[in-house]
């Protein structure tokens, strides 16, 4: 079986300008931030980012690499609206596709099932259809004749997710209390990459939690990266909680260009190892 | 905080709780301080069958005080986001959301101020409001009742109102129901022939004119508007236990 271990740099080498990338996690929870930081270092641009958004979307807005965001929301949880995303929206520097949170999930499911769309009642009657003229409705072929929203598949070029544990083959384990939709991100992408807090032997992975914590299997991923602290500053329970102080510092940089430049120089234009050293001091 | 004198915040919390009185065994999702307190009051007193989460992924068997972390013995089930979506599509849910703007038919906006394409202020985005409102019962909480919040027309319809739901051609809006709107001034519902917002009761000390002056449309005013019930001393006692730090007292402005 294939040993899929690689570095973050080797993983993000699969991303090129103009691609559509999916980012797992939820808000400021278990985000694959080591990959996001590697994308910043790589400088790849004109990205379409598909995400239950958090600082992944905010950072890529601030660096100018994000051209288009497709999202159910963009939040830092303890700070309800992502400030860099807010700034980008208010300054009109990004294209936005805003979907109802459930519509977003159906778009991922459609992509994972290789369907063109999935129908839902969500969105009917709301202005989500008005602001997204590309969204169409579909009429039920049965007697009810209901006219439902046909949520188009959110097909991805590359997806990134972060897990608590994984083995070298690409089996991944979520030890927190919510798996979110990371498996769907992987299945919606041509290629998916998984980082994790620790790579362990398969036996240790299986023994490390209930079987239902093994939410990623090796079919879903093309590469595995060991990245301790790889979700920082978002939470990654039970390994660590959100670094609220760091998140506040990050959020403040949306109001001050100099502060953002300093933040970027200290935390983003450095290697992952130097980042981890900087946040521990 | 007095343990027997009801404040405006207490009146609001009880009014919120009353929204859930006859809901039975469904999940309540209450966004924000006063909705959380009111929902917990309902569960702790007259609506024990309600299912409620810790705001994350645990279903809790008892109504915890605001700010208190659940222990293992408080857990009765698991409700990760995947199950939340399934529950809301199933319809066994009553959500109480906030509203940056709401109009006379209950169209709600939490997305942005100004045109969506070029917003003056980006707010939360639509989040789950479109799917919630078309799939199950919704109520709203407005802590500061003013003409910029209760408006003639919302800037972007996030939560669907009665006129929009009724306009759907083939009964797609049949699960839509906006139960009530609770504000710091009064209680409102939509039980009018054309589902325009109606004043149900004024909180004690609030004059009708105050509501009219602070509402950006003409609400339906029935004959003989009631006064919102004041919580009894034992209910006030429960409210103090559920909000020992007085978060809700700080949220409600007179």
B84: Cβ–Cβ under 8 A, 6 or more apart, which residues?
B29
Measured distance CA(B55)–CA(B36) in Å, rounded: 10
A268: Cβ–Cβ under 8 A, 6 or more apart, which residues?
A37, A40, A41, A59, A63, A275
The answer to whether residues A175 and A201 belong to one domain is: yes
How much is the average pLDDT of A269-275?
97
Q: Which tens digit of pLDDT belongs to each residue from A206-221?
A: 999 999 999 999 999 9
Count Cα atoms within 13 angstroms, Cβ side, for B153.
4
| Model confidence, pTM | 0.97
The answer to whether residues A81 and A177 belong to one domain is: yes
* A48 domain residue, yes or no: yes
Residue A274: which pLDDT band, with cuts at 50, 70 and 90? very high
pLDDT value at position B2? Answer: 61
Measured distance CA(A7)–CA(B76) in Å, rounded: 41
Q: Which tens digit of pLDDT belongs to each residue from A82-118?
A: 999 999 999 999 999 999 999 999 999 999 999 999 9
The answer to whether residues A51 and A17 belong to one domain is: yes
The answer to whether residues A238 and A202 belong to one domain is: yes
Nearest CA-CA partner of A157 in A188, A127, A183, A131: A188
The answer to whether residues A199 and A60 belong to one domain is: yes
Tell whether omega for the bond before A179 is within 30 degrees of 0, i.e. cis.
no
Q: How many CB atoms lie within 10 A of CB B81?
A: 19
Measured distance CA(A54)–CA(A62) in Å, rounded: 13
Query: For chain A, what percent of residues have pLDDT higher than 90?
Result: 99
Q: What is the torsional sign of CA A70, A72, A78, A83? A: positive
How much is the average pLDDT of A168-194?
98
How would you class A165 by CB atoms within 10 Å of its CB: exposed for 0-12, middle for 13-18, buried for 19 or more? buried
* A281 domain residue, yes or no: no
* A183 domain residue, yes or no: yes
* A2 domain residue, yes or no: no
The answer to whether residues A132 and A212 belong to one domain is: no
* A245 domain residue, yes or no: yes
Q: Which domains does chain B have, with CATH numbers?
A: 8-247 (3.40.1080.10)
pLDDT value at position B41? Answer: 98
CATH code for the domain in which residue A160 is found: 3.40.1080.10
pLDDT value at position B136? Answer: 98
pLDDT value at position B4? Answer: 74
Nearest CA-CA partner of B29 in B69, B71, B87, B76: B87
Cα A146 to Cα A100, A116, A119, A201, distances in angstroms: 20, 19, 10, 51
The verdict on a CB contact (< 8 Å) between A102 and B85 is yes
pLDDT value at position B3? Answer: 63
Domain stop point among A101, A126, A152 = A152
Domains: count for chain A: 2
3-state secondary structure A145-158: CCEEEEEECCCEEE
Nearest CA-CA partner of A120 in A136, A99, A106: A106
Q: Edge to edge, what strands does the sheet with A147-152 contain?
A: A117-120, A147-152, A136-139
The answer to whether residues A59 and A169 belong to one domain is: yes
Most A CBs within 10 A among B102, B123, B126, hence the mutation to make, goes to B126
Domain stop point among A107, A134, A152 = A152
The answer to whether residues A30 and A106 belong to one domain is: yes
Domain stop point among A107, A124, A152 = A152
The verdict on a CB contact (< 8 Å) between B130 and A181 is no
pLDDT value at position A124? Answer: 98
In a structure prediction context, what are the per-residue pLDDT tens digits for chain B, which is 254 residues long?
566 789 999 999 999 999 999 999 999 999 999 999 999 999 999 999 999 999 999 999 999 999 999 999 999 999 999 999 999 999 999 999 999 999 999 999 999 999 999 999 999 999 999 999 999 999 999 999 999 999 999 999 999 999 999 999 999 999 999 999 999 999 999 999 999 999 999 999 999 999 999 999 999 999 989 999 999 999 999 999 999 999 999 999 77
Give the residue from chain B lying closest to A149, CA to CA. Answer: B172
Q: How many CB atoms lie within 10 A of CB A24?
A: 29
Q: How many CB atoms lie within 10 A of CB A5?
A: 16
Nearest CA-CA partner of A32 in A164, A155, A154, A204: A164
In 3-state terms, what secondary structure has residue B113?
Answer: strand
**Residues of chain B found within 8 Å of residue A73, distances taken between Cβ atoms:** 124-125, 127
A 32-51 residues with CB < 8 A to B = none
How much is the average pLDDT of A225-238?
98
B92 phi, psi to nearest 5 deg: -85, 60
The answer to whether residues A102 and A173 belong to one domain is: yes
The answer to whether residues A237 and A103 belong to one domain is: yes
* A1 domain residue, yes or no: no
Distance (Å) from the alpha carbon of A74 to chain B's nearest alpha carbon: 8
pLDDT value at position A281? Answer: 75
Any CB–CB contact under 8 A between A28 and chain B? no
Q: How many CB atoms lie within 10 A of CB B3?
A: 10
The answer to whether residues A148 and A161 belong to one domain is: no
* A247 domain residue, yes or no: yes
Give the residue from chain A lying closest to B174, CA to CA. Answer: A121
Domain holding A60, by residue range, is 8-115+155-273
pLDDT value at position A97? Answer: 98
The answer to whether residues A207 and A102 belong to one domain is: yes
Distance (Å) from the alpha carbon of A90 to chain B's nearest alpha carbon: 6
Measured distance CA(A95)–CA(A49) in Å, rounded: 10
Query: For chain A, what percent of residues have pLDDT higher than 70?
Result: 100
Average pLDDT of chain A, as a whole number? 98
């Amino acid at each position: 079986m294939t040993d899929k271990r690689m570095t973050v740099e080797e993983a993000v080498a699969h991303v090129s300008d103009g691609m559509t990338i999916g980012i797992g996690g939820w808000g400021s929870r278990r985000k694959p931030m080591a990959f996001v930081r590697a994308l910043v270092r790589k400088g790849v641009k004109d990205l379409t980012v598909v995400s239950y958004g958090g600082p992944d979307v905010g950072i890529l807005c601030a660096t100018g690499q994000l051209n288009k965001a497709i999202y159910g929301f963009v939040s830092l949880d303890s700070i309800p609206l992502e400030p860099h995303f807010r700034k980008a929206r208010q300054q009109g520097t990004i294209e936005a596709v805003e979907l109802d949170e459930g519509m977003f999930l159906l778009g991922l499911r459609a992509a994972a099932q290789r369907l063109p769309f999935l129908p839902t009642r969500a969105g009917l009657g709301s202005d989500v259809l008005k602001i997204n003229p590309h969204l169409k409705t579909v009429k039920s072929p049965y007697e009810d004749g209901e006219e439902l929203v046909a949520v188009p598949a959110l097909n991805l070029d590359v997806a990134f997710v972060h897990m608590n544990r994984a083995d070298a083959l690409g089996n991944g384990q979520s030890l927190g209390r919510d798996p979110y939709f990371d498996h769907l991100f992987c299945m919606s992408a041509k290629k998916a990459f998984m980082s994790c807090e620790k790579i362990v032997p398969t036996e240790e992975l299986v023994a490390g939690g209930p079987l239902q914590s093994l939410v990623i299997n090796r079919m879903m991923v093309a590469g595995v990266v060991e990245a301790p602290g790889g979700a920082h500053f978002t939470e990654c329970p039970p390994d660590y909680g959100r670094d609220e102080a760091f998140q506040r510092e990050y959020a403040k940089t949306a109001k001050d260009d100099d502060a953002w430049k300093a933040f970027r120089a200290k935390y983003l234009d450095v290697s992952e190892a130097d980042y981890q050293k900087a946040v521990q001091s | 905080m007095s343990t027997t004198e009801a404040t405006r915040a207490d009146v609001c919390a009880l009014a919120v709780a009353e929204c859930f009185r006859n809901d039975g065994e469904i999940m309540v999702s209450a966004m924000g301080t006063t909705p959380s307190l009111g929902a917990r009051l309902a569960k702790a007193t007259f609506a024990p069958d309600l299912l409620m989460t810790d705001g994350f992924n645990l279903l809790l068997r008892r109504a915890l005080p605001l700010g208190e972390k659940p222990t293992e013995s408080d857990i009765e089930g698991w409700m990760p986001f995947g199950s939340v979506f399934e529950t809301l599509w199933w319809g066994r849910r009553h959500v109480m959301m906030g509203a940056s703007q709401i109009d006379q038919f209950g169209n709600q906006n939490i997305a942005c101020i100004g045109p969506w394409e070029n917003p003056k202020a980006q707010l939360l985005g639509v989040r789950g409001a479109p799917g919630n409102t078309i799939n199950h019962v919704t109520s709203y909480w407005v802590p500061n009742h003013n003409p910029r919040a209760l408006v003639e027309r919302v800037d972007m319809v996030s939560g669907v109102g009665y006129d929009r739901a009724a306009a759907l051609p083939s009964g797609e809006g049949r699960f839509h129901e906006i139960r009530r709107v609770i504000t710091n001034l009064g209680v409102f519902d939509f039980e009018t022939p054309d589902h325009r917002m109606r004043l149900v009761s004024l909180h004690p000390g609030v004059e009708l004119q105050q509501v009219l002056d602070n509402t950006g449309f003409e609400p339906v005013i029935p004959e003989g508007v009631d006064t919102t019930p004041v919580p009894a001393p034992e209910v006030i006692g429960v409210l103090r236990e559920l909000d020992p730090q007085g978060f809700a007292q700080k949220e409600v402005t007179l």
